[in-house]
A and B are shown apart, each in its own frame.
Chain A
Amino acid sequence: MNYRFDWSVLWSGQTGALLLQGIETTLELSLIGWLIAVVLGVVSGALRTLPIPPLRWLAAGYVEFFRNVPLLVWMFVWYFAVPPLLPQAFQDFLLDHGVEFWAGVFALGVYHGARFAEVIRSGISAIPRTQFEAAASTGLTIAQTYRLVILPVALRLIVPPATNETLALLKNSSIALTIGVAELTFQVRQIETYTAKAFEALVAGTIIYLILCLAISALSAQIERRVAIPGMITKRTMGEA
């Protein structure tokens, strides 16, 4: 390969600052998007298991509509199609205050919310029927049953798939660059432009994403260990204590 490597571009000039800004934006985008996704996911995942058909249909409609359209399309919808529907004054305010960031947050949150919903639903389905019956026989309402009995258990069961979803969300946040959000991948491309060092910039981006994701994995492995319900989850892989 006819290419001269020069790794110093990664810390000389403004490159370091660009990368840090990118990491910050990626984390903000992912964190707020994640919070939205979890709230939407828990609510609609729970609704999909209720014995009340209209609520079930509503939640199913949300899940199928949002998870079956590509995230890239949602980014464009939230950025280009939603603001014109708002009142003019509010629209101008948004346009002057980073509407692309919020469009990215909502696109990520609502899309991944639909995917989280399925994770939560599978967690709830994994809980034995007897738990619902026991809760009902002690006089709990449906809302109380979910809040006090079912969800606390379901949330502890779904840590591994939820981690998967979280990692996917973090990496999908890079799609926000299509609507001009200056996140990590955007900055990596920026560095390529300024320095013409494409490989160095890409390797830096790769390593940063890897570190962020490994940190999330490590954190959720801790959580998984802490919240595991003895007797409900089979022991972790043999040899790993």
Chain B
Amino acid sequence: MKQFFFLGWIVVCGILAVPISGPAQTTLEKIDKSGVLVIGTRTGSPPFAYVNKNNEWVGFCIDLVEKGILPVLHQKLNKNIKVEKKESAPQTRIPLLTSNAVDLIAETMTDTQSRREQVDFSLTYFATGAQFLVKKGSPIKNIQTIAGKRVAAQQGSTNAKLIRERVPSAKLLEFPDQPAAFQALAQGQVQAYTNDGIQLAGLRAKAPRPDDYAVVGEFFSYEPYGMAMRKNDSDFRQAVNVGLMNAISSGLYFEIYDKWFGAKGEVPYPMTAEIKRFLQMQVVPK
């Protein structure tokens, strides 16, 4: 028995050791020292962040960081800053931030109240809501018609939780990433895949035969995307927000939007007047 108690002690000590924090260093100091801004983003989430046909890691979020936020950091720190990208997933992004592995999460992360207990968010840079991706001609039209159906969702997404609460009779299957969920839909393992509407539009655009699929249903959730940062680091947060506000007020944001979501973009998704107004109203005067 003795060795069990010993093991128990190791575990307990390990847990107690975790909260001990190192010397506080602000994110701006960290970036200044290393000359690198490390962002956590996705490789399979077109057109926000993904690896394209030429094997380049690109996307809407990455452009916002490189063209919008980076110039502010340049100015503030008075030196050249490089961007380093790391893969983050819904389950890893908060630990990546709190462990200092990345400085900024720039991907399709919904700003929520419970997440705000752990991390700070930038202003909302994109707003969407949950819908369904189905095969053309599917009887599923919206959240009211999924009762008893097999529905895929992404693990760690807010949509899965909503489906479970609102339509408990739906057979919910959760996959760790978009490709697996899409494969399940393509093969008939599930009859619908729910995620944020814009991501479904992106997935459909990337499908071998986009016309075989349809994005259906009105938004059954509100998903405002924000960039996440470590808590209580207001100087860095200010830099990120100023970068985004400058991009919106100078029109750069809309150029980038047009590049990815315009008629000739990766995923055509015209911006509504309502969203445009909402973005502009987040910009406070200089």
State the A residues within 8 Å of B (CB). 1-5, 76, 79-80, 83-84, 95-96, 99-100, 177-180, 182, 186, 189-190, 192-199, 202-203, 207, 210, 214, 218
Q: Are A190 and B189 in contact (CB under 8 A)?
A: no
Chain B contributes a number of interface residues (CB within 8 A of A) equal to 46
Q: Are A84 and B187 in contact (CB under 8 A)?
A: yes
- Whole-angstrom CA separation of A205 from B153 in the bound complex: 22
Chain A residue nearest to B157 (CB atoms) is A193
Question: Interface segment, B11-19, B50-58, B62-70?
Answer: B11-19
Chain B residue nearest to A188 (CB atoms) is B91
Most buried by B among A95, A96, A177: A95
Residues of B contacting A95 in the complex (Cβ-Cβ under 8 angstroms): 150, 188-189
- Whole-angstrom CA separation of A110 from B140 in the bound complex: 37
Chain A residue nearest to B181 (CB atoms) is A180
A-B contacts counted at CB < 8 A amount to 100
Neighbour of B91 across the interface among A4, A192, A207, CB < 8 A: A192
Q: Are B15 and A203 in contact (CB under 8 A)?
A: yes
Q: Are A186 and B94 in contact (CB under 8 A)?
A: no
CB distance from B247 to the nearest CB of A (A): 27
Q: Are B173 and A192 in contact (CB under 8 A)?
A: no
State the B residues within 8 Å of A (CB). 4, 7, 11, 15, 18-19, 21-22, 24, 90-92, 94-95, 98-100, 112, 114-115, 117-119, 150, 152, 155-158, 160-161, 171, 173-176, 180, 183-184, 187-189, 230-233
- Whole-angstrom CA separation of A180 from B90 in the bound complex: 15
Q: Are B155 and A2 in contact (CB under 8 A)?
A: no
Q: Are B173 and A193 in contact (CB under 8 A)?
A: no
Q: Are B174 and A180 in contact (CB under 8 A)?
A: yes
- Whole-angstrom CA separation of A213 from B98 in the bound complex: 30
Residues of A contacting B119 in the complex (Cβ-Cβ under 8 angstroms): 196
Residues of B contacting A5 in the complex (Cβ-Cβ under 8 angstroms): 18-19
- Whole-angstrom CA separation of A84 from B98 in the bound complex: 44
Q: Are A177 and B176 in contact (CB under 8 A)?
A: yes
Residues of B contacting A207 in the complex (Cβ-Cβ under 8 angstroms): 11
Given known contacts A83-B189, A210-B11, is B150 in contact with A2 (CB within 8 Å)? Answer: no
CB distance from B14 to the nearest CB of A (A): 9
Neighbour of A2 across the interface among B18, B21, B156, B184, CB < 8 A: B21
Given known contacts A79-B189, A179-B180, A186-B174, is B118 in contact with A196 (CB within 8 Å)? Answer: yes
CB distance from B128 to the nearest CB of A (A): 18
Given known contacts A2-B98, A190-B156, A203-B15, is B21 in contact with A80 (CB within 8 Å)? Answer: no
Q: Are B22 and A96 in contact (CB under 8 A)?
A: no
Given known contacts A80-B187, A83-B189, A197-B118, is B176 in contact with A178 (CB within 8 Å)? Answer: yes
